[in-house]
A and B are shown apart, each in its own frame.
Chain A
Amino acid sequence: MQKTDFIFKRPETGKTEIAKRERWRWVAHYKNGTKLHQFDDEAGIFHQFREIDQSKIESFQMVSDQNPEGINLLIPPNGADLIHFYRNVRLAGRKDWIKLYFFGWKIKNQRGRSIQKLICIYPNDKIALVDELEGGGAK
């Protein structure tokens, strides 16, 4: 039986929280061959995105039960920062939130301008490349 609840100990408070398994989950692949799973099934632990050591990362993967091969994002070698967040939308007339999964990278160009490239996974598992200004909002 697949775990649905994962333990997270918040470093700021020392308190334990329950994180529910997400439909799409990240896996960080390091250059030394090890991996960090957002939801560690063996240990039953949830890892926050900020726990990833981005200086050692080789690639970043999003997987789901229906897509175990997932989507693999090769990290550009020139020092780009990884991005991962959920965008939650409550459309008119609905009481539930629709969740979109965003991941990608950002980097400053030679002029110091932040360039951000994102991939969005929709509720029907379709994906789209999204150009977005830093802080949100489509270009």
Chain B
Amino acid sequence: MAATIRINEYNGAGEVETVNIGDTDMGSVDQANLDPIANPIVPGDNSFEKWQKLEVVAMGGSSKIHNLKVWRTGALGGSAAHKTNAREASYGGAETYAEPTDDPSTVATQNIPTSEPSGANLGIGGSLAGELTAVGYSDYLVHQIQTDAGDVAGSTSTLNCQYDEVA
């Protein structure tokens, strides 16, 4: 290992941090590591937004972390959409935390790419060209699944993420 990185999730009005989440299952409750079977998204509804960050816990001798990318794979099914604030063009900068909602997100407004983006689509310090040279955090990754009443249950949208590290 070089740098030590983890993904954290933030929930509730109080921005309660859950570090090193095991998964990013989406559902009908604002909760980290939620059980999607116990908390399914009813067709026509939205999932609660996810507010997550990459955290550099230790640099381990490396000089910088940068070029953050997120994308999704899997078949969403029906006309469901997986929306995010992550984007390569017109990036909105670092979002200020707001309690996750299951109303249509005003932050996650663009479809997550379905393959690896060509460049960074999640920023550091409000910029896609940003970099971490010491312990710290990325910008918030905000995402939400929005479904249609005709969508079928059991479809999947799985999230991938990536960063580059210069040692």
Chain A CB within 8 A of B153 CB: no
Give the residues in chain B near A22, CB-CB below 8 Å: 2, 167
Shortest CB–CB separation between residue A16 and chain B, in angstroms?
10
Contact B158 A93 (CB under 8 A): yes
Chain A CB within 8 A of B102 CB: no
Q: How far is the CA of A91 from the CA of B159 in the complex (A)?
A: 7
Residues of chain B whose beta carbon lies under 8 Å from any beta carbon of chain A: 1-2, 5, 7, 20, 22-23, 58-63, 67, 69, 72-74, 116-120, 133-134, 158-167
Size bin of chain A's contact surface = 20 to 34
Give the residues in chain B near A135, CB-CB below 8 Å: 67, 119-120
Contact A88 B165 (CB under 8 A): yes
Q: How far is the CA of A74 from the CA of B102 in the complex (A)?
A: 55
Q: Which 10 A-B pairs have the closest CB atoms?
A: A92-B158, A19-B61, A137-B118, A8-B61, A86-B165, A136-B67, A89-B162, A46-B61, A20-B1, A85-B166
Chain B CB within 8 A of A111 CB: no
Shortest CB–CB separation between residue A101 and chain B, in angstroms?
10
Give the residues in chain A near B5, CB-CB below 8 Å: 88, 97
The 0/1 profile, CB within 8 Å of B marked 1, for residues 20-38 of chain A is 1010000000000000001
Q: How far is the CA of A86 from the CA of B3 in the complex (A)?
A: 10
Q: Report the nearest A residue to B65, measured CB to CB.
A: A88
Secondary structure type dominating chain B contacts: loop
Q: How far is the CA of A97 from the CA of B163 in the complex (A)?
A: 10
- CB < 8 Å: which of A12, A88, A92, A137 contacts B73? A92
Give the residues in chain B near A6, CB-CB below 8 Å: 61
Chain B CB within 8 A of A87 CB: yes
- Given A18-B60, A19-B61, also A90-B7 (CB < 8 A): yes
Chain B CB within 8 A of A131 CB: no
Shortest CB–CB separation between residue B123 and chain A, in angstroms?
13
Q: How far is the CA of A90 from the CA of B63 in the complex (A)?
A: 21
A-B contact pairs, 19 of them (CB 8 A): A17-B59, A17-B61, A18-B61, A22-B2, A48-B61, A48-B167, A84-B167, A86-B164, A87-B162, A88-B163, A90-B160, A92-B74, A92-B159, A95-B23, A97-B5, A133-B119, A135-B120, A136-B120, A137-B117
Q: Report the nearest B residue to A8, measured CB to CB.
A: B61
Of A12, A17, A49, A86, most B-chain CB atoms within 10 Å:
A86
Shortest CB–CB separation between residue A39 and chain B, in angstroms?
10
